Amino acid sequence: MQDNEYLIPWDKNNINVKYTEILILGSGIAGLFTAINLSKKYEITILTKKNIMESNTEHAQGGIAVALDLEDSPEFHYGDTIKAGAGLCNLSAVKILAEKGPDSVRKLIELGTQFDKSENKLNFTTEGAHSKKRVLHAKGDATGGEIERALVEKVRNSSIQVKENYFVIDLLKNDDNEVIGVLVLDNKYKLEAWLSKAVIIATGGLGQLYKHTTNPAVTTGDGIAAAYRAGAELMDMEFIQFHPTALLIPGVPSFLISEAARGEGALLLNAQGKRFMADIPGQELAPRDVVARAIWEQMKTGTVYLDFSYIHSQKVQERFPKIYKTCLQYGIDISATPVPVGPAAHYIMGGIRVDNSGQTSLPNLYACGECACNGVHGANRLASNSLLDGLVFAETITQKLEKEAGKLSKWEKAKPFTEHLTSGRRYKTDIERIRAELREIMWDRVGIIRNTEGLSDAYARIERLKEVFVPRIKIPELELGNMLTLGSIIVKSAFKRQESRGGHYRSDYPVPDEEWRKHSAFKRGDKHVSYVSV
């Protein structure tokens, strides 16, 4: 597989062409909220890879952080976000997040989202590294599902066109390097071109690159990889957040055990039944990277457990119904028995480089949500700030596009596929084997603890996988192409950063270094990762 502008060859003369004013890729909180906001002014089409509900948002449990409680203020939220970001936050983006957050969440409530309340007042909980109770939740631990429900209902009752099971392969550009639309595999497996005035990527993260992840199967980084192929700059790709507590039972898929459980009083115990976070600052609610590494260390000598027995058993079922039911399926009653847990890949702080209004380095291309990186999360995202990020920066894109959007281009302007392709050797079992090997490499070598030797080995092995793999027009192969592309970029970025900061921990450079307090940047055609100041 080569580092080409397009993932697959395509023939410009054999493609159906469609037009819409604004294209939105992805149907999580960022994509849907942008679509709703912009539909007052434009004809909007959402292209989503599975059904509209299937996204990381749907699976979000803990909640959405927002300074709405009387005891709280945007200043406190700003301070906590910056502290968690380990010296790498874009301060102006954090200011926007904390200050605009309350209004955005009020709009979400107006759109029909029902957050949990007692005596008609919103319930706020806490999670790691928050100095105040500011995390709103819904149906206990089904916050993302409730937000997604409300937004989907609004979209369904609007003029917004939704195309489900449409897999966006690549972005289309003209000779002036402007994005003019996308190349798509439609729901009947036919290639189509969709042209628009602007494309907004809101396709979420890439948790599936890792053997253990809290993310659903759709998170293969397709939007980030397509932006990269088109020449957009990526930023901070080495910063991956590992959630400390995913259900860990051999043979059972990883499942998130929300940080809100620790927020409500659940404790971490080692194989000997001893609480091991008691002497660490912040204890069970220390920043995620600290808790994840502490668990990782304990796992060397046995299973680690999350013990809910410190929360009243009735409250456990009411507050965490989804976790309760899921664990029960595997024979664990969390109100009575500690749950085996371990870290899992959860979130990427890096992504497509954007400014605070969502503009990427390419004209007419915007991004928001997890796939985008404006530096708001720095090197480590504060718990429950991701849903808020999706909302707030959907609004800044809206404000920008309400003022000006690009022009609809003509199909003749689309740059055709011209690059030479070399064919790789193919084996029948290639796809599953290569995918499993990549996920294993990323987990073992580019995971919670990294070092020079492991990263060099990871780089060489991923390059070898790329040599023997050439994607055909089949979704698992297109996804794998994207995963290999991004795996190699994460490794390069992690290799270059010779320090430890937030989600990036190097055992050979275990402390943060002021010299490295800068963002990494990489785009197609670059020989090396470069750096831009904060």
Tokens of 266: 């659940």
Torsion sign over Cα 81, 356, 482, 405: positive
Amino acid at 441: I
Give the nearest distance from C-beta 391 to ligand SIN in angstroms: 13
Give the number of other Cβ atoms within 10 Å of residue 198's Cβ. Answer: 27
Amino acid at 507: S
Report how far residue 245's alpha carbon sits from residue 343's, in angstroms, rounded to the nearest whole number.
5
Phi and psi at residue 480, in whole multiples of 5°?
Answer: -65, -40
Instruction: Please say which residue, 364 or 384, places its beta carbon nearer to ligand SIN.
Output: 384
Give the nearest distance from C-beta 259 to ligand SIN in angstroms: 3
Query: Which is the catalytic residue, given 229, 262, 288, 381?
Result: 288
> Which SS3 state, helix, strand or coil, does residue 451 take?
coil
Instruction: Please say which residue, 7 or 84, places its beta carbon nearer to ligand SIN.
Output: 84
Question: In b/e form, how buried is each residue of 477-507, taking b as 16+ CB within 10 angstroms?
Answer: bbbbbbbbbbbbbbbbbbbbbebbbbbbbbe
435 is catalytic: no
Instruction: Please say which residue, 8 or 268, places its beta carbon nearer to ligand SIN.
Output: 268
Q: What is the DSSP letter of 85?
A: T
Instruction: Please say which residue, 56 or 485, places its beta carbon nearer to ligand SIN.
Output: 56
CA distances from 87 to 131, 211, 534 (A): 18, 29, 9
> Which residues form the interface with ligand SIN (CB under 6 A)?
61-62, 258-260, 346, 383-384, 386
325: which residues sit within 8 A by CB, 6+ positions away? Answer: none
Give the nearest distance from C-beta 440 to ligand SIN in angstroms: 24
Amino acid at 412: E
- Residues 320, 251, 334, CA angle at the centre, nearest 5°? 25
Report how far residue 442's alpha carbon sits from residue 438's, in angstroms, rounded to the nearest whole number.
6
Tokens of 389: 């990020």
Residue nearest ligand SIN, CB atom distance: 62
Report how far residue 173's alpha carbon sits from residue 176's, in angstroms, rounded to the nearest whole number.
8
Tokens of 265: 């009083």
Tokens of 364: 């007419």
Instruction: Please say which residue, 266 or 383, places its beta carbon nearer to ligand SIN.
Output: 383
Amino acid at 350: G
Give the nearest distance from C-beta 148 to ligand SIN in angstroms: 15
Tokens of 272: 């000997």
Instruction: Please say which residue, 233 or 370, places its beta carbon nearer to ligand SIN.
Output: 370
> Which SS3 state, helix, strand or coil, does residue 132 take?
coil
Give the nearest distance from C-beta 67 to ligand SIN in angstroms: 16
Phi and psi at residue 342, in whole multiples of 5°?
Answer: -160, 165
Give the nearest distance from C-beta 257 to ligand SIN in angstroms: 8
Query: By the 8 A CB rule, do 9 and 1 touch?
Result: no
Query: By the 8 A CB rule, do 378 and 87 touch?
Result: yes
Amino acid at 525: G
Report how far residue 47's alpha carbon sits from residue 31's, in angstroms, rounded to the nearest whole number.
10
Instruction: Please say which residue, 196 or 317, places its beta carbon nearer to ligand SIN.
Output: 317
Q: Which residue intervals of 251-356 are DSSP H helices?
A: 259-263, 288-299, 313-319, 321-329
Instruction: Please say which residue, 179 or 345, places its beta carbon nearer to ligand SIN.
Output: 345
Report how far residue 408's alpha carbon sits from residue 196's, in angstroms, rounded to the nearest whole number.
5
Instruction: Please say which residue, 60 or 232, places its beta carbon nearer to ligand SIN.
Output: 60
Give the nearest distance from C-beta 62 to ligand SIN in angstroms: 3
Give the nearest distance from C-beta 144 to ligand SIN in angstroms: 9
Give the nearest distance from C-beta 254 to ligand SIN in angstroms: 13
Give the residue numbers marked as catalytic: 288
